[in-house]
Chain A
Amino acid sequence: MTKQQKQIHLAAHFPGVNNTTVWSDPEAGSHIEFSSFVKLAQTAERAKFDFFFLAEGLRLREQGGLIYDLDVVGRPDTFTVLAALAAVTSRLGLAGTINSTFNEPFEVARQFASLDHLSEGRAAWNVVTSWDAFTGENFRRGGFLPQDQRYSRAETFMRTAWELFDSWRADDLVADKATGQFLRGEPGRFEHHDEHFDIAGQFPVPRSPQGRPVIIQAGDSEEGREFAAATADAIFTRHGTLEAGQAFYSDVKGRLAKYGREHSQLIVLPAATFVLGDTDAEAHERADVVRRQQVSGQTAIKFLEQLWNADLSGFDPDGPLPAFDPVAGENTIAKGRASVRMYRDPLATARQWRELAEAKNLSIRELIIEVTGRQNFIGSPATVAGQINDFVQADASDGFILVPHVTPGGLDEFADKVVPLLQERGVFRTDYTGPTLRDHLGLTTPASPA
């Protein structure tokens, strides 16, 4: 007897404000007009995707003290655009990245509960914990959080939001016109006091269709994995290879038991890029072109500066790496970028890059393409469908958050050519089976408090 095939989960990431997104492509449309969001979301819904995913950044990125101008800049407010998308889609999940540092639990819980009502149960919250003082300059809250408090605040933030979501029972809304009773008792009461939050009151939003939004957690650190295992419904990762994916998958799923949770209660969704062609060879040719669009000579120098923590504007992108090592200490070159924080040991990374460049005789630009630009899935629709399915069946993930490189049409080919092949294999839905995002993800709806 063969093992039953896992069902694949797919989400569509609106192209982001980084060099993955190719704005110079003749097909590239607006990144801010609502019509672009509608187009991508409706394509994802037509293809029966689980959800649409929106990232967030709360300060424009800077490099060398100047606003970074080589990539797409500018994005909408997460909640507002998702609420509007609820009007032009009917089943697609709507996932928003919302920061737990520069917000308050009462407000975020009110917004997510509202979004869940307004979308009839399709809201998801990707919880992130940016903490830097650079971003804090845009907020009255200001300041920044010591790194050791990041997860403690994020965790208590989310638990506090849960207390608010759970402060109403499903049947607290009575609205009996004859007797004049609107509520059963006084629902919504909450009280939370800890080192981060000191709040008490009555939550104004009745229990929403999903009970609480689907919780997505991004984060690869030890604390991040533990946080996800304890609390999240899905985890957003960036593991590119099958082996790395399998290692991550078994690590986080292995942490669930101690929280009394089943493997199916935490869905592992890496971000993935893709390039399609009629044949594998054509796809690889297109992928090469895309990589060169994504990493111009200027972009390559900027990337190198982020690791080197130094002004390298005098270097030739078609020439060799700098002879000197990265500048140690706080990164003063690039601000507001997740990638800078990824390089935990710049000297070691530089050493690896140097070895790679020497071994393959790569220029700066070629090296940066090599280390940053590799797409996850390249090939004909059949090849890509096969690769995606192999990843999922091999327990390297439960599906993917796909990141198209062109706005807003970058998902069309995938929807038209790859999805039908996955459906033929019986590993992807041919229609939605329930109204809520929890239904799509196979997650149970949290029980209403008694």
Chain B
Amino acid sequence: MTRGTGPRLAVALDGAGWHPAAWRSEDARPTEVFKAGYWLDLVREAEAGTLDFVTFRDSLALPSDGVRGRLDAVLTAARVAPLTSGIGLVPEIVATHTEPFHLSKAIATLDYVSTGRGGVQVSVSSSPEEYRNFGRREFGEDISGEAADYIEVLRRLWDSWEDDAEIRDVATGRFIDREKLHYIDFEGRFFKVRGPSITPRPPQGQPLVTASSGVADSSVDVVYVTPQSREEIGALVEAQHGRQVFADLVVFLDETSQAAADRRARLDSLALLESDALVFTGTPAELAELLLAWHVAGLDGFRLRPAALPHDLTAITRGLVPELRSRGAFRKSYEAPTLRGLLGLDRPANRYVA
């Protein structure tokens, strides 16, 4: 058992980091954010630290601060997939303006190109800019429940092929057994989707579905929450019974607490960091203590948002991870070939198999 009893660890990647002035740090590479090599370096660093997964932030509008511009997250994840081997890859998608049929096959394909390390973070659109970019819906329309419907369609489409649907039966001339392909016939308040998918069931059966708390809680495998203190954790976890609960934390990590605080102060003097998640400033050892305490309080894991890249990512992989390992609280190598496997989740049965 290499995993120990500690928390699971993910990292959220976005631009030059989560502080809007992060791109002005000395070691930042802001113009390379639009090149594959930048993302490959970051994901390989995270993989060297045997993290469970990385998320790739996305939206369907131009970011209003920080790195002003963004590439498609699913494609960025797919671009790094063949050149990594152990870490989970979880791009964010916006359900509100996209087609669940397209995104279902996109995430299934991410699972194929990563041989079982694909997942998705489903979010909903909250900015009028995104509505105007698509021009199909009115901002302010009631979209409650749509993300849950969307995830239901993703999941049904992933199951719309049974695992053994491809038979290649030369004797009867049939490539597939069509009885093992299923129309999903989803009808909801927002859309209808007939199915089956054009893409066979992906390696994990169901790629990992994640979302921030409140988006579609009961539909997901991993919920991201933003506790501000240890006291809040019990109630947050209890509300998510059955789901794995990860806390989001923005992190500034340096060798001394003072250095981390100074670095934050420097960036804060350049731009204002507005954060829903708690901002941690300190040493990797201090963060390890906090994570272990919060883990004991009930959290399954953490999604750390590096305030500046690559600095705070490297501090996670080369500082925090060794701290956790030395406490027997984090894996030393990947113990499973799939993302679900890393999170201790089984490959789910297909809902359409009688």
* A positions within 8 Å CB-CB of B: 23-24, 32-34, 38, 57-60, 66-67, 69-77, 79-81, 83-84, 86-88, 102-104, 106-107, 110-111, 113-115, 117-120, 137-142, 173, 175, 177, 180, 182-183, 188, 197-206, 296, 298-299
* A107-B134 CB under 8 A given contacts A74-B161, A204-B62: yes
Complex: chain A residue closest to B174, CB-CB:
A69
Roughly how many angstroms separate A118 CA and B56 CA in the complex, as a whole number? 15
CB contact between A24 and one of B75, B102, B134, B168 (< 8 Å): that residue: B168
**Are B198 and A59 closer than 8 Å at their CB atoms?**
yes
What residues of chain A lie closer than 8 Å to B166, measured between beta carbons? 73-74
Residues of B within 8 A of A137 (CB): 192-194
Find out whether the CB atom of B69 lies under 8 angstroms from the CB atom of A138: no
The reply to whether A103 and B102 contact each other, CB–CB distance below 8 Å, is: yes
Residue in A106, A118, A138, A183 whose beta carbon sits within 8 Å of that of B101 in the complex: A138
Is B115 in the interface zone, CB < 8 Å from A?
yes
B113 proximity list for chain A (CB < 8 A): 34, 76, 80-81, 84
Per a CB cutoff under 8 Å, which of B97, B108, B175 touches A107?
B97
Residues of chain B with a CB closer than 8 A to A80's CB: 74-75, 78, 105-106, 109-110, 113
CB distance A206 to B69 under 8 Å?
A: yes
Asked whether A87 and B24 contact (CB < 8 A) given A57-B198, A204-B70, the answer is: no
A70:B199 contact, CB within 8 angstroms: no
Among A57, A175, A188, A198, contact of B23 (Cβ-Cβ < 8 Å): A175
B69: chain A residues at CB < 8 Å are 173, 183, 204-206
CB distance from A115 to the nearest CB of B (A): 6
Distance of A57 Cα from B62 Cα, bound (Å): 31
Residues from chain A with a CB closer than 8 A to the CB of B78 are 79-81, 83-84
* Known interface pairs A32-B200, A114-B75, A138-B195; A183-B82 also in contact (CB < 8 Å): no
A38-B23 in contact (CB<8A): no
Shortest distance in angstroms between B42's beta carbon and chain A's nearest beta carbon?
A: 14
Apart from the given pairs A80-B109, A173-B34, A201-B62, 6 other A-B contacts in the complex at a CB distance below 8 Å: A32-B200, A34-B112, A77-B108, A84-B79, A180-B271, A298-B173
Within 8 A of A (CB), among B85-107: 97-102, 105-106
> Is the pair A70, B76 in contact by a Cβ cutoff of 8 Å?
no
Q: Are A188 and B62 in contact (CB under 8 A)?
A: yes
- Could you list 7 A-B pairs, sorted by A, with CB under 8 Å? A58-B101, A69-B178, A72-B175, A73-B176, A117-B71, A173-B69, A205-B34
B81 interface residue per 8 A CB criterion: yes
**A87/B97 contact (C-beta < 8 A), A183-B68, A203-B62 known:** no
Shortest B116–chain A CB gap in Å is 11
State whether the Cβ of B270 lies closer than 8 Å to any Cβ in chain A.
Answer: yes
Alpha-carbon separation in the docked complex, A246 to B255 (Å): 72
Chain A: CB-nearest residue to B80:
A87
- Is B60 interfacial (CB-CB < 8 Å)? yes
Q: Is the CB of B174 within 8 A of A206?
A: no
Q: How far is the CB of A226 from chain B (nearest CB, A)?
A: 27
A248 to B126 CA separation, bound complex (whole angstroms): 50
Please name all residues of chain B whose beta carbon is closer than 8 Å to the beta carbon of A141 when the two chains form the complex: 99
B residues less than 8 Å from A73 (CB atoms)? 166, 175-176, 181
- A70, A77, A111, A183 pick with most chain B CB within 10 angstroms: A77
